[in-house]
A and B are shown apart, each in its own frame.
Chain A
């Protein structure tokens, strides 16, 4: 497959995966490996000082995956900036998946605070990948602020409902000068394939891989979905028509 390039860095995979909600670390590792992904997201939280857990990082090979810390849990720009700085201080490369989600029910990204945080983080030298509503005007503002991608949502986080924002994402893809990564809501390999067929540069998936009895197989299935969609996009989909157009010759029938 052709390479994905973000902020000058090349990736062989167009599938990014999240590490949340897996039943075990082994299930997570299996899904990650089979997905072929080279970018994995992680979150930052307080340590439980009474019973510290096994570190997630001991399960993720830093030579194989780019660790992409998110700012999940941030309710405004200030909290997101604080989390991004903490991730960098923890030794991560200065890449950050910017998420500002003040609404606890739909976890929808706050466009105003996301843009504010993006402006600050870009100035501080971060490579910013912002999770955002599927709003083409906002995508332009984020790109102008210097974000490395835009990441419009297909449907609310964890809903597995597919691309409910299709028309808006199409406009973002048409207009964007930076890679478009469809994030959130993709529940099936066909959803991922659909995003890629539309011309998205990549997709990010977590819940669909974690919330299945067989994450290892689902990782493989999503890899195929993404690759199929990308290849179809590059090949060029045939036009849609209202009326039938025969695939078989309309001459030489055994009649008359």
Chain B
């Protein structure tokens, strides 16, 4: 399965859910917010299964003024 994450193409062996992907990337779900194919996901949607060709943005808070 190929996903485009934050502008980079990534290949995965098998189909993943959002939470499975976050686990694989070692990201704490409560610290990030995700857009799937330009749609913002709520935390409840983290069990959604991803499909080949999906585009994700994984965003977090950083320092800023």
Contact = CB atoms under 8 A, between A and B. Distances in A.
Nearest to A19: B63
A45 interface: yes
Contacts of B26: 52
Contact of A44 (B41, B61, B65): B61
Contacts of A70: 64-65
Contacts of A18: 63-65
Contacts of A43: 61-65
Interface string B26-41: 1110111101000011
B65 A46 contact: no
B8 to A, nearest CB: 7
A41 B35 contact: no
Contacts of B57: 46
B25 A46 contact: no
A137 B63 CA distance: 31
Given A46-B57, A47-B27, A28 B63 contact: yes
Contacts, number: 98
A246 interface: no
B28 A89 contact: no
B64 A19 contact: yes
A85 B40 contact: yes
A56 B40 contact: no
B40 A46 contact: no
Contacts of A44: 33, 59-62
B36 to A, nearest CB: 12
Interface residues of A, number: 37
Nearest to B8: A49
Contact of B60 (A21, A22, A55): A55
A128 B10 CA distance: 37
Contact of A47 (B10, B32, B40): B32
A42 B32 CA distance: 14
Interface string B13-54: 000000000000111101111010000111100000000000
Contacts of A56: 60-63
A40 to B, nearest CB: 10
B22 to A, nearest CB: 10
Interface string A39-78: 0011111111100110111100000000101101000000
B33 A52 contact: no
A90 interface: yes
B14 to A, nearest CB: 18
B33 A90 contact: yes
A102 interface: no
Given A41-B65, A49-B6, 9 more contacts: A19-B63, A20-B62, A21-B63, A42-B61, A43-B65, A44-B60, A44-B62, A55-B61, A56-B62
The list of the 3 closest CB pairs from A to B, nearest first, reads A43-B64, A18-B65, A206-B65
